[in-house]
Protein backbone atom coordinates (compact mmCIF):
# COMPACT_ATOMS: atom_id res chain seq x y z
CA UNK A 1 0.00 0.00 0.00
CA UNK A 2 1.24 3.48 -0.85
CA UNK A 3 1.91 5.69 2.15
CA UNK A 4 -0.57 8.28 0.86
CA UNK A 5 -3.32 5.60 0.64
CA UNK A 6 -2.48 4.55 4.19
CA UNK A 7 -2.63 8.14 5.40
CA UNK A 8 -5.98 8.61 3.64
CA UNK A 9 -7.46 5.43 5.15
CA UNK A 10 -6.21 6.32 8.59
CA UNK A 11 -7.64 9.83 8.26
CA UNK A 12 -11.08 8.18 8.12
CA UNK A 13 -10.63 6.87 11.66
CA UNK A 14 -13.69 7.13 13.87
CA UNK A 15 -11.46 7.68 16.92
CA UNK A 16 -10.04 11.19 16.94
CA UNK A 17 -7.96 10.31 20.03
CA UNK A 18 -5.81 8.26 17.67
CA UNK A 19 -4.75 11.16 15.43
CA UNK A 20 -1.72 12.36 17.43
CA UNK A 21 -0.59 8.73 17.85
CA UNK A 22 -0.95 8.05 14.14
CA UNK A 23 1.13 11.13 13.47
CA UNK A 24 3.88 9.87 15.77
CA UNK A 25 3.89 6.39 14.22
CA UNK A 26 4.08 7.73 10.67
CA UNK A 27 6.95 10.04 11.69
CA UNK A 28 8.79 7.18 13.44
CA UNK A 29 8.47 8.74 16.89
CA UNK A 30 8.37 6.68 20.09
CA UNK A 31 4.96 6.16 21.74
CA UNK A 32 4.29 6.97 25.40
CA UNK A 33 2.54 5.11 28.21
CA UNK A 34 -0.64 7.16 27.62
CA UNK A 35 -0.52 6.38 23.90
CA UNK A 36 -0.40 2.67 24.75
CA UNK A 37 -3.47 2.97 27.00
CA UNK A 38 -5.37 4.93 24.30
CA UNK A 39 -4.51 2.30 21.69
CA UNK A 40 -5.87 -0.45 23.95
CA UNK A 41 -9.02 1.56 24.60
CA UNK A 42 -9.86 2.36 21.00
CA UNK A 43 -12.82 0.72 19.29
CA UNK A 44 -11.34 1.49 15.89
CA UNK A 45 -9.74 -1.91 15.50
CA UNK A 46 -9.16 -1.51 11.77
CA UNK A 47 -7.14 1.70 12.11
CA UNK A 48 -5.14 0.08 14.91
CA UNK A 49 -4.49 -2.90 12.64
CA UNK A 50 -3.51 -0.75 9.66
CA UNK A 51 -1.07 1.20 11.78
CA UNK A 52 0.48 -1.92 13.34
CA UNK A 53 0.70 -3.59 9.94
CA UNK A 54 2.43 -0.50 8.57
CA UNK A 55 5.00 -0.81 11.36
CA UNK A 56 5.53 -4.53 10.88
CA UNK A 57 5.97 -4.16 7.11
CA UNK A 58 8.40 -1.31 7.70
CA UNK A 59 10.51 -3.74 9.76
CA UNK A 60 9.97 -7.07 8.01
CA UNK A 61 8.39 -6.32 4.63
CA UNK A 62 5.79 -8.90 3.63
CA UNK A 63 7.67 -11.74 5.30
CA UNK A 64 5.90 -13.80 7.95
CA UNK A 65 7.90 -16.43 9.74
CA UNK A 66 7.56 -19.95 11.09
CA UNK A 67 10.06 -22.41 12.50
CA UNK A 68 10.22 -26.19 12.46
CA UNK A 69 10.65 -26.80 16.14
CA UNK A 70 9.74 -29.09 19.01
CA UNK A 71 8.88 -28.20 22.55
CA UNK A 72 10.15 -30.59 25.21
CA UNK A 73 9.14 -30.27 28.87
CA UNK A 74 11.43 -32.59 30.85
CA UNK A 75 9.28 -32.54 34.00
CA UNK A 76 6.16 -30.89 35.37
CA UNK A 77 7.15 -31.35 39.00
CA UNK A 78 7.74 -27.82 40.22
CA UNK A 79 8.61 -26.08 43.46
CA UNK A 80 6.61 -23.00 42.46
CA UNK A 81 2.91 -22.49 42.98
CA UNK A 82 1.72 -20.30 40.11
CA UNK A 83 -2.04 -19.93 40.25
CA UNK A 84 -2.54 -19.81 36.48
CA UNK A 85 -0.50 -22.92 35.75
CA UNK A 86 -2.33 -26.18 35.03
CA UNK A 87 0.78 -27.95 33.80
CA UNK A 88 2.92 -28.13 36.91
CA UNK A 89 2.37 -30.01 40.14
CA UNK A 90 4.18 -29.67 43.46
CA UNK A 91 3.26 -33.24 44.42
CA UNK A 92 5.47 -36.03 43.04
CA UNK A 93 2.64 -38.51 43.71
CA UNK A 94 0.09 -36.54 41.70
CA UNK A 95 -1.13 -38.87 38.88
CA UNK A 96 -0.23 -36.18 36.33
CA UNK A 97 3.36 -35.77 37.66
CA UNK A 98 6.07 -36.94 35.26
CA UNK A 99 9.82 -36.86 34.61
CA UNK A 100 11.47 -37.88 31.37
CA UNK A 101 14.78 -39.72 31.16
CA UNK A 102 17.82 -38.63 29.16
CA UNK A 103 16.97 -41.45 26.72
CA UNK A 104 13.49 -39.95 26.22
CA UNK A 105 15.01 -36.50 25.79
CA UNK A 106 17.30 -37.78 23.06
CA UNK A 107 14.59 -39.78 21.29
CA UNK A 108 12.20 -36.80 21.32
CA UNK A 109 14.98 -34.59 19.95
CA UNK A 110 15.89 -37.18 17.32
CA UNK A 111 12.27 -37.34 16.17
CA UNK A 112 12.27 -33.55 15.83
CA UNK A 113 15.51 -33.50 13.85
CA UNK A 114 14.20 -36.26 11.59
CA UNK A 115 11.17 -34.02 10.92
CA UNK A 116 13.50 -31.20 9.85
CA UNK A 117 13.55 -29.23 13.11
CA UNK A 118 16.17 -26.51 13.47
CA UNK A 119 15.24 -25.77 17.11
CA UNK A 120 14.30 -27.51 20.35
CA UNK A 121 12.58 -25.36 22.97
CA UNK A 122 13.06 -26.87 26.43
CA UNK A 123 11.33 -25.59 29.56
CA UNK A 124 9.89 -27.36 32.57
CA UNK A 125 9.31 -27.44 36.29
CA UNK A 126 11.76 -26.47 39.03
CA UNK A 127 12.22 -30.05 40.20
CA UNK A 128 12.99 -30.09 43.95
CA UNK A 129 15.23 -33.19 43.67
CA UNK A 130 17.23 -32.31 40.58
CA UNK A 131 20.53 -30.49 40.91
CA UNK A 132 21.95 -28.02 38.40
CA UNK A 133 24.07 -30.77 36.89
CA UNK A 134 20.92 -32.73 35.94
CA UNK A 135 19.79 -29.78 33.82
CA UNK A 136 23.28 -29.01 32.50
CA UNK A 137 23.62 -32.62 31.37
CA UNK A 138 20.46 -32.24 29.24
CA UNK A 139 22.15 -29.52 27.21
CA UNK A 140 25.41 -31.48 26.99
CA UNK A 141 23.84 -34.67 25.68
CA UNK A 142 21.67 -32.88 23.14
CA UNK A 143 24.71 -30.95 21.92
CA UNK A 144 26.82 -34.13 21.68
CA UNK A 145 24.16 -35.91 19.66
CA UNK A 146 22.94 -32.99 17.53
CA UNK A 147 25.82 -30.56 16.93
CA UNK A 148 23.86 -28.26 14.58
CA UNK A 149 20.56 -28.02 16.42
CA UNK A 150 19.66 -24.68 18.07
CA UNK A 151 18.97 -25.30 21.76
CA UNK A 152 16.62 -22.67 23.17
CA UNK A 153 16.22 -23.69 26.77
CA UNK A 154 15.39 -22.63 30.32
CA UNK A 155 13.47 -19.49 31.21
CA UNK A 156 14.90 -16.79 33.46
CA UNK A 157 12.91 -18.43 36.27
CA UNK A 158 14.81 -21.68 35.74
CA UNK A 159 18.15 -19.86 35.49
CA UNK A 160 17.42 -18.18 38.83
CA UNK A 161 16.53 -21.58 40.34
CA UNK A 162 19.76 -23.16 39.03
CA UNK A 163 21.68 -20.29 40.59
CA UNK A 164 20.00 -20.90 43.96
CA UNK A 165 20.47 -24.69 44.00
CA UNK A 166 24.07 -24.55 42.74
CA UNK A 167 25.02 -21.52 44.85
CA UNK A 168 26.55 -20.00 41.73
CA UNK A 169 25.64 -16.54 40.51
CA UNK A 170 23.36 -16.51 37.48
CA UNK A 171 26.07 -15.17 35.17
CA UNK A 172 28.18 -18.26 35.96
CA UNK A 173 25.14 -20.49 35.44
CA UNK A 174 24.56 -18.93 32.03
CA UNK A 175 28.24 -19.24 31.07
CA UNK A 176 28.24 -22.93 32.03
CA UNK A 177 25.06 -23.59 30.06
CA UNK A 178 26.48 -21.71 27.07
CA UNK A 179 29.69 -23.73 27.21
CA UNK A 180 27.60 -26.90 27.35
CA UNK A 181 25.85 -25.91 24.11
CA UNK A 182 22.93 -23.64 25.00
CA UNK A 183 22.16 -21.16 22.21
CA UNK A 184 19.37 -18.93 23.52
CA UNK A 185 16.77 -18.41 26.25
CA UNK A 186 13.00 -18.63 25.76
CA UNK A 187 10.74 -15.91 27.12
CA UNK A 188 8.51 -17.77 29.57
CA UNK A 189 8.09 -16.70 33.18
CA UNK A 190 7.54 -12.99 32.49
CA UNK A 191 3.80 -13.24 33.22
CA UNK A 192 2.85 -9.65 34.16
CA UNK A 193 5.58 -7.56 35.72
CA UNK A 194 3.34 -5.41 37.99
CA UNK A 195 4.07 -6.62 41.55
CA UNK A 196 0.44 -6.37 42.70
CA UNK A 197 -0.68 -8.72 39.92
CA UNK A 198 2.32 -11.00 40.31
CA UNK A 199 1.51 -11.42 44.02
CA UNK A 200 -1.89 -12.83 43.01
CA UNK A 201 -0.99 -15.02 40.06
CA UNK A 202 2.60 -16.09 40.80
CA UNK A 203 3.38 -15.28 44.43
CA UNK A 204 6.55 -17.38 44.69
CA UNK A 205 8.07 -16.55 41.31
CA UNK A 206 11.01 -14.15 40.81
CA UNK A 207 10.04 -10.53 40.26
CA UNK A 208 10.34 -8.51 37.06
CA UNK A 209 13.69 -6.95 37.92
CA UNK A 210 15.40 -10.31 38.25
CA UNK A 211 13.64 -11.64 35.15
CA UNK A 212 14.98 -8.74 33.07
CA UNK A 213 18.42 -8.77 34.75
CA UNK A 214 18.85 -12.43 33.78
CA UNK A 215 17.85 -11.72 30.18
CA UNK A 216 20.15 -8.70 29.97
CA UNK A 217 23.02 -10.77 31.42
CA UNK A 218 22.35 -13.48 28.82
CA UNK A 219 22.40 -10.83 26.08
CA UNK A 220 25.73 -9.46 27.31
CA UNK A 221 27.11 -13.02 27.10
CA UNK A 222 26.06 -13.19 23.46
CA UNK A 223 22.90 -15.23 23.97
CA UNK A 224 19.72 -13.89 22.37
CA UNK A 225 16.34 -14.43 23.97
CA UNK A 226 12.63 -13.95 23.48
CA UNK A 227 10.23 -12.38 25.94
CA UNK A 228 6.56 -12.85 26.77
CA UNK A 229 3.51 -11.40 28.56
CA UNK A 230 0.69 -13.48 30.00
CA UNK A 231 -2.55 -11.49 29.58
CA UNK A 232 -6.29 -11.94 29.98
CA UNK A 233 -6.50 -12.78 33.70
CA UNK A 234 -6.57 -10.26 36.60
CA UNK A 235 -4.31 -7.62 35.10
CA UNK A 236 -5.52 -4.24 33.85
CA UNK A 237 -4.68 -2.45 30.63
CA UNK A 238 -2.14 -0.17 32.31
CA UNK A 239 -0.31 -3.28 33.64
CA UNK A 240 0.08 -4.55 30.08
CA UNK A 241 1.40 -1.19 28.87
CA UNK A 242 3.77 -0.98 31.83
CA UNK A 243 5.01 -4.52 31.06
CA UNK A 244 5.70 -3.69 27.42
CA UNK A 245 7.51 -0.46 28.28
CA UNK A 246 9.77 -2.23 30.78
CA UNK A 247 10.74 -4.64 28.01
CA UNK A 248 11.37 -1.70 25.67
CA UNK A 249 13.66 -0.11 28.25
CA UNK A 250 15.64 -3.34 28.72
CA UNK A 251 15.91 -3.73 24.96
CA UNK A 252 17.31 -0.21 24.67
CA UNK A 253 20.14 -1.37 26.96
CA UNK A 254 21.12 -4.66 25.31
CA UNK A 255 19.18 -5.21 22.08
CA UNK A 256 19.13 -8.96 22.70
CA UNK A 257 15.42 -9.71 22.43
CA UNK A 258 14.50 -11.17 19.07
CA UNK A 259 10.78 -11.38 19.60
CA UNK A 260 7.87 -10.52 21.91
CA UNK A 261 5.15 -13.11 22.45
CA UNK A 262 1.84 -12.18 24.07
CA UNK A 263 0.51 -15.36 25.74
CA UNK A 264 -3.27 -15.48 26.02
CA UNK A 265 -4.39 -16.87 29.37
CA UNK A 266 -5.95 -20.38 29.17
CA UNK A 267 -8.47 -20.74 31.98
CA UNK A 268 -8.96 -24.44 32.79
CA UNK A 269 -7.64 -26.72 35.55
CA UNK A 270 -5.88 -24.04 37.56
CA UNK A 271 -6.35 -22.03 40.75
CA UNK A 272 -7.35 -18.67 39.26
CA UNK A 273 -11.10 -18.35 39.32
CA UNK A 274 -11.39 -16.98 35.80
CA UNK A 275 -13.33 -19.08 33.36
CA UNK A 276 -13.21 -17.00 30.18
CA UNK A 277 -10.77 -17.37 27.33
CA UNK A 278 -9.53 -14.05 25.90
CA UNK A 279 -11.59 -12.61 23.04
CA UNK A 280 -10.36 -12.37 19.46
CA UNK A 281 -10.57 -8.57 19.63
CA UNK A 282 -8.42 -8.51 22.76
CA UNK A 283 -5.85 -10.84 21.18
CA UNK A 284 -5.60 -8.66 18.05
CA UNK A 285 -5.41 -5.43 20.04
CA UNK A 286 -2.67 -6.82 22.28
CA UNK A 287 -0.57 -7.85 19.31
CA UNK A 288 -1.12 -4.54 17.51
CA UNK A 289 -0.29 -2.44 20.58
CA UNK A 290 2.82 -4.54 21.20
CA UNK A 291 3.99 -3.90 17.64
CA UNK A 292 3.48 -0.17 18.06
CA UNK A 293 5.00 0.22 21.53
CA UNK A 294 7.94 -2.17 21.12
CA UNK A 295 9.62 -0.19 18.36
CA UNK A 296 13.01 -1.76 19.19
CA UNK A 297 11.95 -5.44 19.18
CA UNK A 298 12.31 -6.91 15.70
CA UNK A 299 9.49 -9.48 15.75
CA UNK A 300 6.05 -10.00 17.29
CA UNK A 301 4.74 -13.55 17.52
CA UNK A 302 1.13 -14.63 17.09
CA UNK A 303 1.41 -17.89 19.00
CA UNK A 304 -1.21 -20.09 17.36
CA UNK A 305 -1.23 -22.51 20.30
CA UNK A 306 -2.77 -19.96 22.68
CA UNK A 307 -4.93 -17.82 20.33
CA UNK A 308 -5.88 -20.49 17.80
CA UNK A 309 -4.99 -20.70 14.14
CA UNK A 310 -7.70 -18.30 12.93
CA UNK A 311 -6.79 -15.37 15.18
CA UNK A 312 -3.07 -16.05 14.72
CA UNK A 313 -3.56 -15.88 10.96
CA UNK A 314 -5.59 -12.66 11.23
CA UNK A 315 -2.92 -11.22 13.54
CA UNK A 316 -0.48 -11.31 10.62
CA UNK A 317 -2.31 -8.18 9.42
CA UNK A 318 -2.42 -6.65 12.91
CA UNK A 319 1.28 -6.33 13.66
CA UNK A 320 2.53 -9.93 13.99
CA UNK A 321 5.12 -11.34 11.62
CA UNK A 322 5.72 -14.75 13.19
CA UNK A 323 3.56 -17.77 14.06
CA UNK A 324 6.10 -19.82 16.07
CA UNK A 325 6.19 -23.29 14.59
CA UNK A 326 5.33 -26.94 14.37
CA UNK A 327 5.81 -27.34 18.17
CA UNK A 328 5.15 -31.12 17.89
CA UNK A 329 4.18 -31.68 21.53
CA UNK A 330 2.51 -28.80 23.39
CA UNK A 331 1.60 -29.41 27.02
CA UNK A 332 1.50 -26.12 29.00
CA UNK A 333 -1.46 -24.51 27.21
CA UNK A 334 -3.30 -27.78 26.64
CA UNK A 335 -3.27 -28.79 30.31
CA UNK A 336 -5.03 -25.42 30.79
CA UNK A 337 -7.71 -26.00 28.16
CA UNK A 338 -6.25 -24.65 24.90
CA UNK A 339 -8.57 -25.56 22.01
CA UNK A 340 -5.86 -25.52 19.35
CA UNK A 341 -4.09 -28.69 18.11
CA UNK A 342 -0.97 -29.79 20.03
CA UNK A 343 1.16 -29.67 16.89
CA UNK A 344 1.11 -28.15 13.45
CA UNK A 345 2.13 -29.27 9.98
CA UNK A 346 4.56 -27.05 8.12
CA UNK A 347 2.25 -27.05 5.07
CA UNK A 348 -0.61 -25.69 7.17
CA UNK A 349 1.54 -22.83 8.49
CA UNK A 350 2.58 -21.96 4.94
CA UNK A 351 -1.06 -21.94 3.82
CA UNK A 352 -2.19 -19.78 6.77
CA UNK A 353 0.56 -17.24 6.05
CA UNK A 354 -0.11 -17.16 2.30
CA UNK A 355 -3.84 -16.64 2.84
CA UNK A 356 -3.01 -13.66 5.04
CA UNK A 357 -1.28 -12.08 2.04
CA UNK A 358 2.23 -12.52 3.45
CA UNK A 359 5.29 -14.39 2.20
CA UNK A 360 5.97 -17.53 4.27
CA UNK A 361 9.57 -17.89 5.46
CA UNK A 362 10.92 -20.88 7.30
CA UNK A 363 13.35 -19.31 9.77
CA UNK A 364 15.84 -20.48 12.34
CA UNK A 365 15.61 -19.28 15.94
CA UNK A 366 17.51 -16.07 15.16
CA UNK A 367 15.32 -15.26 12.15
CA UNK A 368 17.83 -16.23 9.49
CA UNK A 369 15.90 -17.25 6.39
CA UNK A 370 16.13 -21.00 5.77
CA UNK A 371 13.58 -21.11 2.97
CA UNK A 372 11.36 -18.47 1.40
CA UNK A 373 8.12 -19.81 -0.04
CA UNK A 374 7.56 -17.39 -2.93
CA UNK A 375 4.52 -17.26 -5.21
Which stretches of the chain bind ligand V47, using CB under 6 A?
Answer: 84-86, 155, 186-189, 191, 226, 228, 230, 261, 263, 265-266, 270, 303, 306, 324, 332-333, 336
Is 215 in contact with 170 (CB distance < 8 Å)? no
Positive or negative CA dihedral for 165, 166, 172, 174? negative
Question: C-beta of 303: minimal distance to ligand V47 in Å?
Answer: 5
Q: Which residue is nearest to ligand V47 (CB)?
A: 188
- 5 burial class (0-12, 13-18, 19+ CB within 10 angstroms)? exposed
**Residue with Cβ nearer ligand V47 (270 or 314):** 270
Edge-to-edge strand order for the sheet containing 369-372? 322-325, 63-67, 359-363, 369-372
SS (H, E, C) 313-352: HHHCCCCCCEEEECCCCCCHHHHCCCCCCCCCCHHHHHHH
3-state secondary structure of 190: coil
Shortest distance in whole angstroms from residue 85 CB to ligand V47: 4
Residue number with CB closer to ligand V47 (53 or 227): 227
Tell me whether residue 36 or residue 187 sits nearer to ligand V47 (CB atom).
187
Select 205 or 285, whichever has its Cβ closest to ligand V47.
205
| 203 alpha-carbon distance from chain centroid | 21
Q: Which of residues 217 and 266 has its CB atom nearest to ligand V47 in the complex? A: 266
For residue 324, the minimal CB distance to ligand V47 (Å) is: 5
Q: Which is nearer to ligand V47, 205 or 358 (CB)?
A: 205
Closest approach, Cβ 237 to ligand V47, in A, equals: 18
Distances in Å between the Cα of 189 and the Cα atoms of 5, 18, 129, 297 are 41, 33, 21, 18
Smallest distance from ligand V47 to CB 28, Å? 27
Provide the minimum distance between the beta carbon of 176 and ligand V47 in the complex, in angstroms, as a whole number.
21
- In angstroms, what is the minimal distance from the CB of 173 to ligand V47? 18
Beta carbon nearer to ligand V47, 181 or 188: 188
DSSP 120-139: EEE-----TT--HHHHHHHH
Shortest Å distance, C-beta 214 to ligand V47: 14
Angstrom CA distances, 248 to 81, 206, 212, 344, stand at 28, 20, 11, 31
Kindly report the CA angle at 20 between 16 and 22, in degrees rounded to 5? 90
**Shortest approach of ligand V47 to residue 267 CB, angstroms?**
7
Query: In terms of Cα–Cα distance, which of 351, 343, 342 is closest to 310?
Result: 351
10 vs 263, which CB is nearer to ligand V47? 263
For residue 43, the tally of other CB atoms under 10 A from its CB is 10
Strands (E), the chain: 63-67, 69-72, 119-122, 150-153, 184-185, 224-231, 257-264, 299-300, 322-325, 359-363, 369-372
Toward ligand V47, which CB reaches closer, 170 or 335? 335
**Residue 265 beta carbon to ligand V47: minimum distance, rounded to whole angstroms:** 5
CB 312 within 8 Å of CB 302: yes
Is residue 353 classed exposed, middle or buried when 0-12, 13-18 and 19+ CB atoms within 10 A define those classes?
A: buried
Report the C-alpha gap between 139 and 45 in whole angstroms.
Answer: 44
Judged by beta carbon, residue 173 or residue 206, the one nearer ligand V47 is: 206
Residue 329 and residue 72 in contact, taking contact as beta carbons nearer than 8 Å: yes
Amino acid sequence: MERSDLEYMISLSTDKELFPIIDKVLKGKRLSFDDGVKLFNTNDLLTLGLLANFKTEEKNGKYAYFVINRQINPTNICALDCKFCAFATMDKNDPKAYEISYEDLISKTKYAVDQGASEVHIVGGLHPDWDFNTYLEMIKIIRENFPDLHIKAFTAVEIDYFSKISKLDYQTVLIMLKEAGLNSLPGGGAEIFAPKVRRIIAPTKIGWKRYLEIHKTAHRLGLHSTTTMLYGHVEEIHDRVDHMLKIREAQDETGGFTCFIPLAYQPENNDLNITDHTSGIDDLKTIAVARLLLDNVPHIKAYWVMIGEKIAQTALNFGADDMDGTVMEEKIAHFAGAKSPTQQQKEKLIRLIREAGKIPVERDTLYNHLKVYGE
